Amino acid sequence: MKKNIFITVLAAAVAVSCVNLDEKVYSSLDKGVFYQNENSVKAAVASVYNEAQSNLSEKMFYLQEYSADQMAWRIWNDGWGYDEGEKYVLSVQRWNSESKIILQAWQESWTTIGLANNIIYDLQTIDPSDLKMSREQFDSYIAELRTLRAWCYYINFQAWGGSLPLCNTVSDEVPPSESRRLGSFEAGCRSIYDFIATELDESVDLLPKGKVNRMNQAMNRMLRAQLALNAGLFIGEERYDECADICEKIIGGDYGTYSIVSDYRDIFKYGNRACPEVIFAFACEDGQSPFNMGNTRNLKGLPYNWKNIMGDPDSDASGWNCEIVVPSHDNSGEILSLGGTDTGGESFLGEAYGDKLGAVYERFDDRDIRKKAYSCPSGVWNGGLFLKGAQYEYGTTSPVKADADRDGMDLVYVDQLATFRKPASVKPVMSPYYGEVNSGYRLIKYPMYPATSGIDFRNIDNVEFRLAEAYYMLAECKLRSGDAGGAKDLVDTVRGRYFSSSDKEAALAVPGPGFEEFDLDWMLSEWGKEFLSEGRRRRTDLRRYDKFTQGQWWFFGRATDVDGSLIPVKRDRKYEWYPLPQSAFQTNSGLQQTPGY
């Protein structure tokens, strides 16, 4: 049995919600030396948050969003961003057990769980009175760690299902996949499901209420509701009534006081930790957040000269220019010199295609304030989410210039994707391999404040759980039970804030572009708009609706991949789960591969 823990050595003044990675040093310390008082317990718990923030914010985001119908990793300039297909395989759903991104996600996913196991083990062997702490205080920290560990397990669970090992102790023994231990993938899924549910249920009453940067009772119950909402997918049992009951209690204030805000910008702008809708958010401060999370939120889609557009924010990070919003239009029409076509292309929502998925920008009602072009003059965000059309130097009418395949041309983002600079190569629909520097609109979910505002955009907390999700989960439960009116009322409580007072009544009376009824297809679309690019589209939306591999959007069934093969309308169901990385079997012979791989 291990006797030491690996913890982050923190300055005494560092709060539990804020860890400075620049000062991170790992040391192997005996628990009798390290644990001296409550501050040392806080430091140990802070180290787990630090790892969780790092591990959940990047690789797992890729697995959940780029493989789905709203965000994509597209290639440009004849191969830039391809990187041996590292992230591209997600967007075309063609990964395998050798895929680099799968290995990266797997390796990072266990760091937080292992650290939590070590610290929980140590704390359970300590008498709290020796640290001048009450049993209630002490147990609350352990409950915090158990909830955080359960969340990390949930993230892993929805990726790898019953092939996961159940590792919740500190031991020299390496546990096998639950599917191997119990004889089937389904039995493994149930075991992991029950473990997560038990951890959450046993911890909730010991947690605080209203601590936005720490595990709290409402966050615990939100995760428990997510588990119940997806029970049909995970264990083959519908538990919508259980989910609805939990959500009603969250909304009713049983686990803390929260409310839906009328101005949705409060959720994502600077100072959002005080927003009454936010239930849990990772604390972010420049230099103190893993990988500077504030940088990576938007920069994956921005160009090299993004600071010219945004007003020279205080950041040395470069734009990746690879992440785009899934296009809403095909490539029909006369090609324009700056990219795109004169007609803007045929909409994937229209009669020619009739897609119920994807076509992100056109899913938004024209009256929706989020559909506006993003701007943040003098540090006041206008609420628009999209960089679209011609881009200008901040505060001027001088065009921003593109680089690479459109070097020196005006940068004009188009809601289409094709190699328009090579007219003979353009096809009505092309896969994300055939992009250009300006292909696809860009999403700005968190505002990027100009230097003149004096606000560092990297200091905006990263929201993970918010009250709107409880409303949407409850709405879906009602819709599935036949109460379409009750479902619509709940969704309208949230989406009403996106329309002016003069537009609101008319806008809420219709299901929106692409839909005729307030049905499950509409509900799935509302999930997508409300939680766009929040790292959940695959795991909590598409798979529950059986649309992840069986649904059609954008290029599926309409375009060829880089090898010339048609990307099918419906993909093999093995892609519902991710494979265990092949190299993992070298260190754990007890693992059992996910079915189909």
pLDDT in tens, 307-357: 999 999 988 888 999 999 999 999 999 999 999 999 999 999 999 999 999
Determine contact, residues 362/441, Cβ cutoff 8 Å: no
Determine contact, residues 408/270, Cβ cutoff 8 Å: no
Task: In whole angstroms, give the CA distance from residue 417 to residue 125.
Answer: 58
Beta strands, E only, 173-266 = none
Task: In whole angstroms, give the CA distance from residue 507 to residue 498.
Answer: 10
Q: How many other C-beta atoms lie within 10 A of the C-beta of residue 516?
A: 9
Nearest Cα to Cα of residue 51 among 159, 152, 155, 138: 152
> Which DSSP letter does residue 368 get?
-
Alpha helix segments (H runs only) across 509-568 = 520-530
Nearest Cα to Cα of residue 546 among 580, 567, 570, 510: 570
HSE of 391 in the Cβ direction (CA atoms, 13 Å)? Answer: 27
Give the relative orientation of helices 217-229 and 185-203 as an angle to the nearest 10 degrees: 160
pLDDT in tens, 197-239: 999 999 999 999 999 999 999 999 999 999 999 999 999 999 9
User: Burial code of 320-357, b = ≥16 C-beta within 10 A, e = fewer?
Assistant: bbbbbbbbbbbbbeebeebbbbeebbbbbbbeebebbb
Q: Which two tokens stand for residue 245?
A: 């009951």
Task: In whole angstroms, give the CA distance from residue 320 to residue 164.
Answer: 33
Residue 442, classed as helix, strand or coil, is strand
Task: In whole angstroms, give the CA distance from residue 390 to residue 399.
Answer: 7
Task: In whole angstroms, give the CA distance from residue 522 to residue 517.
Answer: 7
Task: In whole angstroms, give the CA distance from residue 523 to residue 533.
Answer: 17
Q: Which two tokens stand for residue 251?
A: 């909304």
Determine contact, residues 322/81, Cβ cutoff 8 Å: yes
**Amino acid at residue number 431:** S
Q: What angle do CA 283, 538, 528 make, to 5 degrees?
A: 75
C-alpha distance across the termini of the chain, in Å: 34
Residue numbers in the chain where pLDDT is lower than 70? 1-31, 286-295, 540
Nearest Cα to Cα of residue 272 among 208, 209, 220, 213: 213
Beta-carbon contacts of 218 under 8 Å, excluding residues fewer than 6 positions away, are: 209, 210, 250, 255, 256, 258, 279, 280, 465
Task: In whole angstroms, give the CA distance from residue 546 to residue 230.
Answer: 12
- Cα-Cα-Cα-Cα torsion 564, 565, 566, 568, nearest 10 degrees, comes to -150
Task: In whole angstroms, give the CA distance from residue 149 to residue 142.
Answer: 10
The string of DSSP codes covering 264-289 is THHHHSTTGGG-TTEEEEE---TTTS
CB-based burial label for 427 (10 Å; 0-12, 13-18, 19+): middle
Query: Which pLDDT value is given to residue 297?
Result: 87
> Which DSSP letter does residue 565 get?
P
Query: Which pLDDT value is given to residue 418?
Result: 98
Task: In whole angstroms, give the CA distance from residue 40 to residue 133.
Answer: 12
Tell me the C-alpha to C-alpha distance, in Å, between residue 315 and each of 8, 270, 461: 26, 16, 17
Determine contact, residues 477/520, Cβ cutoff 8 Å: no
Residue 332, classed as helix, strand or coil, is coil
- Whole-prediction pTM: 0.94
Q: What angle do CA 466, 471, 472 make, to 5 degrees?
A: 95
Give the DSSP H/E element, type plus range, for residue 465: strand 462-466
Strands 278-282, 462-466: pairing is antiparallel
Task: In whole angstroms, give the CA distance from residue 553 to residue 561.
Answer: 15
Q: Which two tokens stand for residue 349?
A: 């929502």
Query: Which pLDDT value is given to residue 56?
Result: 81
